Structure 1
Amino acid sequence: MPKAPVLQIVEVFGPSEQGQARPYLCRAEDGHLYYVKGQQTNRASLWREWICAHLARALNLPLPPFSLVQVDEALIEELPRDWRDIGSLPAFGSRKHANAGWLELGVVGQVPAATQRDILVFDWWVHNSDRIKGNPNLLWDAEQEAVVVIDHNNALDPTFQTAGFLENHLFSERWQALTADLVTRAQYEQRLSDALPAADLAFDLAPEEWLWENPEFDIPAKFDRAAALAVLSRCATPELWRTV
């Protein structure tokens, strides 16, 4: 199968002030601004972002458009030395959402209940503990009064703890009513199962460079595809809702 198209970066504005992965704000050849995670992070983070973006899109979550992007080596040479860690290999780009800022706790109540449930179930499914009350990793478009879902570099976490997730997730108060409703549970099981093929698509479309941890391509990436698929395949089993 052909790999996903790669947008060329034409301008790098510098690293974002927020975000553990230190994404760079860049302009791509399509004219749009993207937050770019490249070689300044590890391959596992790129795989997680790429896979979860495909899954979130399949579920119709409010996710910004995303793409593979790349900075040409000639442009890298023109950057300040401490910006060059973005690298010249294919990277993950998430389009900058206009009119959006970080979601504040004061507006959480304006997020529709259905959207809260969708995000909660999605994060539970992909083992993403990185959406907590103190660091929701969500944006809020005040003009549209809409939430924007971002940042999945810590998903598919092999150290995922169910108790910590249910205690700390931003929308955890929705969990009890959601799981008590067998009809709602069945609907989510179907939606997740329908979205699951997007994970295989993401694997097929990903750049071959991500299979290697280093630029010399002699150290395999520290990302376990089989383990990730095992986590996601829970959607078709009773294990999806198991908390102990």
Structure 2
Amino acid sequence: MLREVTATRYIEPLREGGSLPGLIEADDLGTYVLKFRGAGQGRKTLVAEVVCGELARRLGLRVPRLVTVALDAVLGLGEPDPEVQELLKGSGGTNLGMDFLSGALGFDPLAFEVSPEEAGRVVWFDALVTNVDRSWRNPNLLRWHGDLWLIDHGATLIWHHNWPGAQTSAARPYDAADHALRSFAPDVRAAAADLAPRVTEDLLAEVTAAVPDAWLTGEPGFDIPDDLRRAYAAPLLARAATVHEHIHGLEETR
């Protein structure tokens, strides 16, 4: 499970994100980017953030540390923005936080270099989790202390929006033509050789166990949270072995 902290102060909204995340302080004296369970995208966005973030971390990619955040809705009483106030009031309970990387810069492919090896690992991972939100228009990448960090994985795991078609959705090819790292000649085959064997049943069980039960209960077609955890893991396990063969749009970079 993720470590739990309690929000003690709401600092400000971060308006770069479509879900209007916020910056908070917590009882461990840490500062976190808070993603609300009451946001329009719903709790599935939080599940995707945890599954992808924890999987990426275990595969050696850099992702800000994730925590669950206990939020008391009264923190919204003094917020002047009605939209933010409604988010705070509607998100009492367990939310998702990620370490705030103070001083991090948004990734600019014209200003930063990325090796083909690292680019390949990121592209392979995004193909695995069907990430459609890592384009040059919106990279969702940060440069912090000279390293590349991955953020915002809410728009992934497309199969959890239609469980009856999960296996079909998981078999879809991945279009990397607009990927933020396409110009760095990603070495996807080397990444697959290294990373695919690591995606095992045990690893995915560990990753999905980090998702709080509160975000998994009540899903139609699933009796208990562990059934849903296994449903998240199954397409990832099946996809990992061959996804590198179904990545399109990189041909001109080779």
TM-score range, shorter chain: 0.7 to 0.9
Residue number in structure 2 paired with 1:208: 213
Would you say the 8 A contact 2:63–2:149 is kept in 1? Answer: yes
Would you say the 8 A contact 2:35–2:95 is kept in 1? Answer: yes
Residue number in structure 2 paired with 1:26: 24
1:133 to 133, 136, 146: 136
Structure 1 spans left out of the alignment, 5+ residues: 213-218
- Please report how far the alpha carbon of residue 53 of structure 1 lies from its aligned counterpart in structure 2 after TM superposition: 1.1
Residue number in structure 2 paired with 1:216: none
Structure 2 spans left out of the alignment, 5+ residues: 160-168, 223-227, 249-254
1:166 lines up with 2:176 in the alignment: yes
1:52 lines up with 2:57 in the alignment: no
Q: How large is the RMSD of aligned CA atoms in angstroms?
A: 2.8
TM-superposition CA deviations, 1:94-138 (whole Å, max 9, x none): 111122021123124x12332211111110111112101111000
Would you say the 8 A contact 2:116–2:186 is kept in 1? Answer: no
Q: Distance in 1 between matches of 2:99 and 2:93?
A: 18
Calculate percent identity across the aligned residue pairs: 23
Would you say the 8 A contact 2:50–2:210 is kept in 1? Answer: no
With over 3 angstroms needed to count, the CA separation of the structure-2 counterparts of 1:20 and 1:198, relative to structure 1, is farther
- Please report how far the alpha carbon of residue 15 of structure 1 lies from its aligned counterpart in structure 2 after TM superposition: 1.6
Aligned length: 227
Would you say the 8 A contact 1:234–1:240 is kept in 2? Answer: no
Residue number in structure 1 paired with 2:43: 43
With over 3 angstroms needed to count, the CA separation of the structure-2 counterparts of 1:148 and 1:5, relative to structure 1, is closer
1:106 lines up with 2:104 in the alignment: no
- Please report how far the alpha carbon of residue 75 of structure 1 lies from its aligned counterpart in structure 2 after TM superposition: 2.7
TM-score calculated relative to the size of structure 2: 0.77
Q: Which amino acid aligns with 1:210?
A: W
Pairing of 1:215-230 with structure 2 (within 5 A): 220=219, 225=229, 228-230=232-234
Q: Which amino acid aligns with 1:8?
A: T
- Please report how far the alpha carbon of residue 47 of structure 1 lies from its aligned counterpart in structure 2 after TM superposition: 0.5
Would you say the 8 A contact 1:6–1:69 is kept in 2? Answer: yes
Q: Which amino acid aligns with 2:66?
A: F
| 3-state secondary structure, aligned to 1:134 | coil
With over 3 angstroms needed to count, the CA separation of the structure-2 counterparts of 1:192 and 1:177, relative to structure 1, is same
Residue number in structure 2 paired with 1:215: none
